[in-house]
A and B are shown apart, each in its own frame.
Chain A
Amino acid sequence: MRFIEHIFSLFSSQKSAKLAKERLQIIVTHDRRKRRYLPLLQQELLDVVRKYASIDDDDIKIHLEKQGNYEVLEMNIALPK
């Protein structure tokens, strides 16, 4: 009986490291994507605006703020005179 329990515990614990790895791979990929999306969005917006006006990299300010259940994306673009 104890032997069987041992085998079982071996199997279930074998799962725990594997499970940790799987969970980490998913969440880390998700985190990374989220981190990357703001600078990417900023760059793309910059490219779009540049089609119509010449602005510097610093002329666009982008800010994401959490308010309760939703996120507010605040954007400021300074256009040249």
Chain B
Amino acid sequence: MSKIIVITSGKGGVGKTTTSAAFATGLALRDYKTIVIDFDVGLRNLDLVMGCERRVVYDFINVINGEANINQALIKDKRVENLFILPASQTRNKDALTLKGIARVLEELKKNFDYIICDSPAGIEHGAIMAMYFADEALIVTNPEVSSVRDSDRIIGMLSSKTRRAMQKMPPIKEHLLITRYEQKRVNKGEMLSIKDVEEILAIPLLGVIPESLEILKASNSGVPITYNKETDAGQAYLDVVARFLGEEPPKRKKKGFFRRWFGRKL
């Protein structure tokens, strides 16, 4: 059974695309056939973060409009087996996304993929709703900061009212909280909301915490998803997120991460 997972947040710049790239790569590294779709029509960026920007020929909207078939639009990742990217259109706007069209494309993809990752655009408008509409599970990417937390709460409200599962009175979307850009030092100083604070306010289960890391910028600079490099704190944290998502608890790695955080910090 394939699963559709939306990466969403409401607020922009919190790490949706970084997370989509890292999470999808992590799943593919675990041998699951994975596709990641860029729903940010008009502001395509996933291709750049994943380093395949020069290989885009057809896009998601072309497929929706029947101007290309799926196999023509899919880009196979060069580094990781089992990983594919469906880029957004750069020239149209988000209205080109129709429920009917998306449903058709997703049905087609379900035949061939274990996981379909939908990288949502920022905001709470049409594009964001289209990205979450068919989801079975959702990763809510949140920074420990007031506007991001508030927007995440708003998005959680929409997941339980504006999606297919909500409207057809099916079991609700499974929600996962992912805290990114977390800085333990600042939390210790009382300058930043703690993991527990964010969990308490949003009241959804925590899937993982990604520490603030200089490596993330380096990864997007070079177009290599952060999970491809196990040596980094953030990459390891994302791999732990993938493991936990797959139902494993990675305690050893977590401890190692802690150890590293305290003693081996090479910032």
CB within 8 Å of B: which residues of A?
10, 13-18, 20-21, 23-25, 27-28, 31-32, 35, 39
**Pairwise interchain contact A17-B190, C-beta atoms closer than 8 A:** yes
Chain B residues with CB under 8 A of A39 = 161
**Pairwise interchain contact A16-B201, C-beta atoms closer than 8 A:** no
Beyond A21-B197, A21-B201, A25-B201, is A31–B190 a contact (Cβ under 8 Å)?
no
CB distance from B69 to the nearest CB of A (A): 37
| Size band of the interface chain B makes with A | 10 to 19
**Pairwise interchain contact B153-A20, C-beta atoms closer than 8 A:** no
Beyond A24-B201, A28-B201, is A13–B191 a contact (Cβ under 8 Å)?
yes
Known pairs A20-B145, A24-B149; list 20 more (Cβ under 8 Å).
Answer: A13-B189, A13-B190, A13-B191, A14-B189, A16-B191, A17-B187, A17-B190, A17-B191, A17-B192, A18-B190, A20-B193, A20-B197, A21-B200, A23-B146, A24-B150, A24-B193, A27-B150, A28-B149, A28-B153, A31-B150
CB distance from A50 to the nearest CB of B (A): 19
**Pairwise interchain contact A20-B146, C-beta atoms closer than 8 A:** yes
**Pairwise interchain contact A28-B193, C-beta atoms closer than 8 A:** no
**Pairwise interchain contact A31-B153, C-beta atoms closer than 8 A:** yes
Q: Mark B10-34, 1 if CB is under 8 A from A, else 0.
A: 0000000000000000000000000
Q: CA separation between A32 and B156, bound complex, in Å? A: 10
Q: CA separation between A14 and B186, bound complex, in Å? A: 10
Instruction: Pick the contact of B154: A16, A24, A25, A31 (CB < 8 A).
Output: A31
Interface core residue of A18, A24, A31 (most chain B CB under 10 Å): A24
Q: Mark B191-223, 1 if CB is under 8 A from A, else 0.
A: 111100100110000000000000000000000
CB pairs A–B below 8 angstroms (26 shown): A10-B189, A13-B189, A13-B191, A14-B190, A15-B190, A16-B190, A17-B187, A17-B191, A17-B192, A17-B193, A17-B197, A20-B145, A20-B193, A20-B197, A21-B197, A21-B200, A24-B150, A24-B193, A24-B201, A25-B201, A31-B150, A31-B153, A31-B154, A31-B157, A32-B153, A35-B161
**Pairwise interchain contact A21-B193, C-beta atoms closer than 8 A:** yes
- Chain A's closest residue to B152 (CB) is A28
**Pairwise interchain contact B150-A28, C-beta atoms closer than 8 A:** yes
Q: CA separation between A20 and B193, bound complex, in Å? A: 7
Chain B residues with CB under 8 A of A27 = 150
Q: CA separation between A24 and B199, bound complex, in Å? A: 12
Chain A residues with CB under 8 A of B189 = 10, 13-14
Chain A residues with CB under 8 A of B194 = 17
CB distance from A33 to the nearest CB of B (A): 11
Chain A residues with CB under 8 A of B201 = 21, 24-25, 28
Q: CA separation between A28 and B153, bound complex, in Å? A: 7
Chain A residues with CB under 8 A of B157 = 31-32, 35
Q: CA separation between A25 and B199, bound complex, in Å? A: 11
